[in-house]
Amino acid sequence: MTDTIDKRARELANYVLQTGATVRAAAERFGVSKSTVHKDLTRRLEQTDRLLWLRVRAVLDRNKAQRHLRGGEATRRKYVAQKPEGRPAK
């Protein structure tokens, strides 16, 4: 069982490094919860492969620093999509 979990953690780490994916995107891609991805990448990987963990940590930190921008953009798109036709934007 531990081998399977370690393998999944390495696969997740490689995916995040190659794509720069967020925890949410990685969870969706691998069909696991965000909590599982986070735990695999922050706790389990640190114990099994510290160098890989350090590289992944840099991507996770960058994603965390940018999340307020992604959230703001998502909110903007939501309200643009809801805007009734024919009304001028303010």
Burial class (CB in 10 A: 0-12, 13-18, 19+), 78: exposed
Residues with Cβ < 8 Å from 83, sequence gap 6 or more?
Answer: 89
Give the pLDDT confidence score for residue 20 in this predicted structure.
Answer: 94
Contact (CB, 8 A) for 71 and 64: no
Q: CA–CA separation, 66 vs 49, rounded Å?
A: 26
DSSP symbol at 86: T
Whether 90 is in a domain gets the answer no
* pLDDT tens track for 7-42: 999 999 999 999 999 999 999 999 999 999 999 999
Whether 9 is in a domain gets the answer yes
State the total domains in the chain.
Answer: 1
Whether 12 is in a domain gets the answer yes
Give the pLDDT confidence score for residue 75 in this predicted structure.
Answer: 82
Which structural domain range is residue 66 located in?
A: 2-82
* pLDDT tens track for 50-82: 999 999 999 999 998 877 777 777 787 888 888
Give the pLDDT confidence score for residue 64 in this predicted structure.
Answer: 87
